[in-house]
Amino acid sequence: MGVGSGAFAQEAATPAELPPLEVTAQAKKKAAAAKKKTATSPVPQAPVAAAAAPEPVEKGASTDADGGLSSGGVDGYLATRTSSGTKTDTPLIDVPQAITVITQERAKDQHAVDVNKALQYVPGVLVAQGEGNRDQIVIRGQNTTADFFIDGVRDDVQYFRDLYNADRLEVLKGPNAMIFGRGGGGGVVNRVSKKAGEDVREGTAWIGSFDHYRATADVGARVSNDFAVRLNGVFEDSGSYRDGVDLERYGINPTAFFRLTDHTRVWLSYEYFHDDRTADRGISSVAVPGSTERRPYPGTIKAFFGDPNKSVSDFDGHTTTATIEHKFSEDLKVRNHTSYGNFDKFYDNVFAATGVSAGGLYSAGVYDNLTTRSTLVNQTDVTYKFDGGWYGHTLVVGTEFSRQDTENTRKTGANVVGIPASNPTFTLPSNYPIPVTGRNETELSTASVYVQDQFDITKYFQVIGGIRFDRFDIDATNLFNGSQFGRVDDMWSPRVGVVVKPIDNLSFYASYSKSFLPYSGEQFGSLDGTAADLEPESFINHEIGVKWEIAPRLMLSAALYRLDRENTRAVNPVNVALPPVQIGSSRTEGGEIEIAGYITDQWEIAGGYARTFGEITGAQGTTVGNTVPVGRSLANIPEDMFTLWNKYRFTPMFAAGIGVVHRSEIFASTSNTTVLPEFTRVDGALYFNLTENLDAQLNVENLFDETYYASAHSDHNITPGSPRAFYFGVTSRF
């Protein structure tokens, strides 16, 4: 049993099942013995019973009711079922949408401890800088800080998300408003959390380069067949390859499961998470001699542009959830999920606000930002399966209501000028004036209702269609000058898809979907006397694709798409500190191909290739710096992106992994002046099964010590990639 593999098999147990303890223990022993046997076989063997493809599950059935993937659909790096994309437990091959699932084993094998790390191996997704204080990604060319979810519930607070309590990570590409609501133009990222429902006792400790120290614990108990508890925790204290940069984060997440009756189940959860780190916005750019093009400043990648002691990011979050599910019959089920969160986020930046001049100087910007937010969300889904005569239906009718209160205070100081890029780190005087320049509060209420029908016309032809209505009501008060603004948007978000299955293990699909984003933006900070009158952004996606189960444990998928966006917003290319600009309409189009699973019983892979084109198709704006010409490329879109992770088990005691990430050059902003060069990074890993309950692994990031630039927030904020780094971990099951 290698690192990650056995652990995931235990952790994926479903609360709904709750088999007798002795049966569970016997099954685990048999699975472990079977896996060791196949690992030593000289030729590929047929999959053993413990690892075989899951038995068919009737569409619409729920095995875990957690807003994510059914546990029975995971085998190593391969996932075969999901409920995130449709709100019903559905084979991935029957979902007319591109979906990438990062299983727990895959994340652990890659030492992907957070969302940022895990997404680096997903083609078509670029992990952006996020100003050094939050997760920010670009999916199919669409930049977002708010399209993150936990168990299907919106998690739009700006912070870095850890995976210590995540069972898997799902990336659903294309507009998803019908299921998830506003935003999600390029796609959404959904974390499925670990649930109480089994006996598990596991701890992992890591040590590595740049003073990396991390420990996690996962302890769960089945007190009875009707009651279970589980506790996940994490603590990390790490430095960085960047001078003056470090982080400390810790979290704790107790959960409980109750079976009230044979037909009623309840899950409860509470999480406290703290993240305290240096807000690192990287290095600046410099003009290429004789050209209008700019490139990353060629000095050391370690140097901090600004004041690291003054650049901090501090986050505290409390989240409580309750889920209750009742089955009236095998065909009728009701599920209600309530989530309440309270969050505090503060960050302070002294960073490069300009590029490096011909004389070797740059200017630093100074500001800080405090946000407090409370969010209450309630979702109710009714799932009903019935026979429509000559075809069967799985009908979902649901509602979502939310209330979100946010208060934000911003202070902005004058730029510090004339800093030599050859020695870019400085200390801001303690009495440097940073006056309050903005303070506002927003009250957001949403009310949504949606209906979706999945029906099989024949075994070869399936249709899924749905529509969602959202009422988005926001009121904003400028506490700085007392002005008040408000806006109400009523939006319809349709989706329709068809799936053709000439044979059971091959499907072709076509889909259409639409999403919207209110003009107040992802974080509701852009509502003023002008923006209050502007229409929401819209996203329209056309997609065709194919999914092929090449073998019972190997899945290949491919998609071609065109995504049109109206009223597009972007970082101001003239001054990043100014409000986002309108750049009119844009279009991204391209193709993706992914593969995941077992080539042989010893060789496991996950990866793919994405080719993406994105450009401005219609200009908008009247003020200087607010117009982006038609034909310019969108920011942070590599034309070519290739990723592939391999793991090969040589013996029951030893396995090795190697991965490749290749990305073509990208523009740092819509100015199309600053270019991040293409790069190819190679990673490696070794896995050791020391005893039945003790595993170890060694991960090497950037094996060949390639100098590269991973991401950018603007033309002058560029994050260099890590040099070669080593991470050693030990996992104990007790």
pLDDT of amino acid 224: 94
CA distance 527 to 533: 9
Percent of the chain with pLDDT over 70: 84
pLDDT of amino acid 466: 96
pLDDT of amino acid 184: 82
* DSSP E strand stretches across 424-553: 436-458, 461-478, 484-503, 506-517, 537-551
Residue in the block written with tokens 């780094």: 725
Q: What six digits make up the tokens of 466?
A: 């749905």
Cα angle 360, 417, 132; round to 5: 85
pLDDT of amino acid 54: 33
C-alpha distances in angstroms, 123 versus 93, 576, 593, 643?
A: 19, 28, 8, 6
CB atoms within 10 A of CB 246: 16
Mean pLDDT of 305-333: 97
Pick the closest to residue 515 from 175, 149, 186, 188 (CA basis): 175
Pick the closest to residue 156 from 341, 386, 396 (CA basis): 341
C-alpha distances in angstroms, 279 versus 242, 248, 369?
A: 11, 12, 12
Q: How many residues does the chain have?
A: 734
C-alpha distances in angstroms, 208 versus 215, 235, 690, 704?
A: 12, 15, 20, 17
pLDDT of amino acid 575: 61
CA distance 501 to 503: 5
Tens of pLDDT, residue by residue over 402-457, are 999 999 999 999 999 999 999 999 999 999 999 999 899 999 999 999 999 999 98
In the CATH scheme, what is the code of domain 5-693+701-733? 2.40.170.20
Q: Per-residue confidence at 618, pLDDT binned at 50, 70, 90? A: confident
CA distance 316 to 318: 7
Which residues fall within 8 angstroms of residue 361, CB to CB, at 6 or more apart? 417, 418, 419, 420, 421
In degrees and rounded to multiples of 5, residue 130 shows phi and psi of: 65, 30
What pTM value is reported for the model? Answer: 0.88
Read off the DSSP letter of residue 482: -
SS3 145: coil
- Would the pLDDT of 616 be above 80? yes
SS3 183: coil
Q: Which residues pair with 497 in a beta bridge?
A: 464, 511
Residue in the block written with tokens 């591109």: 98
CA distance 267 to 320: 11
Alpha helices, H only, 158-229: 177-180
